[in-house]
């Protein structure tokens, strides 16, 4: 970013426009100011996601979701003091204000050139039969179908690698040799890949019982048939911020009822809402799990992620949801696969 003033926005700016501002700038932050450039608040990806969970529309002003008491440094503070504030508070940026509260700079500590290597393992579920995509999957496993010039699974691995992930485990079953022969040990992508071979279908969680060594850090599990540009740093930070033992990524899904919805009280008509839209959060097939969760996975049993989360909730383990606002597509049907190809041309916007 050439000028920190590019991230200044007004409190009446819509959340949608602020999202675009955050995504377009290196600092991943927007700063809310009044007409005199006095600091009113800050807005980050996390603030927006928390607003989504409260069903705050993206058309509403950022004043609904902004952080109104941000950490600041003062004009005249040394660089070392500003860095000390950022390190103490776990921030990548800090606004600099003068005596009247006007923002005069935005100090940032950002590494844009090379991601910090991560020790977190990524487990990709690629053993499904892909029956809904037949006949395309009659001769090719679904994760190896090409979107653009690369298999879906290669797009996934490349996306994780761009965030510094280097340890991968791929669960395979149907036409496993096609996946193993293509990716081998992962060295072509600068990562390390191991494989779990399912002799029988173990569901979206059952294969986790076959992980050879319990990870030392939270690990990510993802279905191998998804196209997404989710910010993986934000996902891990969210999981750790809430000290969660299991985080499920969710995607907002709108369903428009094609009729007028009638509200009644016994025989009395209360109201009519024409073609209302219902909003839900759906399971997006991406998860972050604490290592101890592996102790709950049954051996040699078909076991799905929803069952795992239901068991975790019953045991009162800490479970959280991470709302995805970025591009996400489940390539499960022929029309979805074709849409993924079109979206790839546009850069998954």
Task: Tell me the C-alpha distance between 77 and 302, whole Å.
Answer: 59
pLDDT score at 222 = 97
Task: Tell me the C-alpha distance between 84 and 311, whole Å.
Answer: 42
Lookup: tokens for 214? 């319990």
pLDDT score at 25 = 76
Within its chain, how far is the Cα of 283 from the centroid?
Answer: 12
Segment 268-274 shows an average pLDDT of 85
Q: Give the chain's domains with CATH numbers.
A: 4-108 (3.10.580.10), 118-346 (3.90.550.10)
Cβ neighbourhood burial of 299 (10 Å; 0-12, 13-18, 19+): exposed
pLDDT tens, position by position, 22-74: 888 766 889 999 999 999 999 988 899 999 999 999 999 999 999 999 988 88
Element (H, E) at 94: strand 93-97
Task: Tell me the C-alpha distance between 349 and 228, whole Å.
Answer: 10
pLDDT tens, position by position, 96-115: 888 889 998 787 664 333 57
Distances (CA, A) of 254 to 251, 277, 279, 339: 10, 6, 5, 18
Task: Tell me the C-alpha distance between 224 and 160, whole Å.
Answer: 12
Check residues 149 and 282 and name the one with the higher pLDDT: 282
Q: What is the largest CA-CA distance in the chain?
A: 71
Three-class SS state of 79: helix
Q: Does residue 349 have a pLDDT over 80?
A: no
């Amino acid at each position: 970013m050439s000028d920190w003033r590019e991230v200044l926005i007004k409190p009446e700016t819509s959340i949608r426009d602020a999202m675009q501002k955050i995504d377009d700038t290196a600092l991943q932050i927007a700063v809310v100011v009044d007409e005199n450039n006095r600091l009113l608040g800050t807005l980050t990806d996390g603030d927006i996601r928390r607003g989504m969970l409260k069903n705050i529309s993206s058309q509403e002003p950022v004043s609904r979701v902004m952080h109104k008491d941000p950490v600041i440094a003062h004009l005249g503070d040394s660089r070392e003091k500003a860095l000390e504030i950022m390190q103490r508070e776990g921030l990548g940026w800090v606004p600099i204000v003068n005596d009247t509260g006007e923002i005069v700079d935005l100090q940032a500590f950002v590494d844009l050139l090379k991601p910090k290597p991560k020790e977190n393992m990524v487990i990709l579920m690629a053993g499904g039969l892909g029956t809904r995509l037949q006949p395309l999957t009659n001769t090719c496993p679904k994760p190896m179908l090409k979107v653009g010039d690369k298999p879906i699974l290669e797009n996934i691995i490349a996306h994780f690698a761009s965030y510094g992930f280097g340890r991968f485990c791929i669960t395979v079953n149907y036409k496993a040799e096609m996946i193993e022969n293509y990716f081998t040990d992962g060295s072509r992508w600068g990562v390390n890949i191991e494989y779990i071979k399912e002799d029988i279908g173990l569901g979206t969680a059952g294969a986790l019982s076959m992980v050879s060594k319990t990870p030392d850090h939270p690990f990510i599990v993802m279905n191998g048939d998804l196209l997404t540009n989710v910010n993986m740093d934000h996902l891990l930070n969210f999981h750790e911020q809430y000290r969660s033992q299991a985080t499920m990524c969710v995607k907002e899904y709108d369903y428009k009822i094609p009729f007028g919805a009638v509200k009644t009280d016994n025989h009395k008509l209360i109201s009519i809402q024409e073609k209302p839209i219902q909003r839900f959060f759906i399971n997006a097939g991406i998860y972050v799990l604490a290592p101890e969760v592996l102790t709950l996975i049954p051996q040699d049993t078909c076991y799905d992620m929803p069952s795992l989360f239901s068991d975790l909730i019953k045991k009162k383990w800490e479970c959280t949801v991470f709302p995805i606002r970025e591009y996400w597509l489940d390539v499960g049907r022929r029309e979805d696969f074709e849409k993924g190809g079109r979206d790839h041309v546009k850069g998954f916007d």
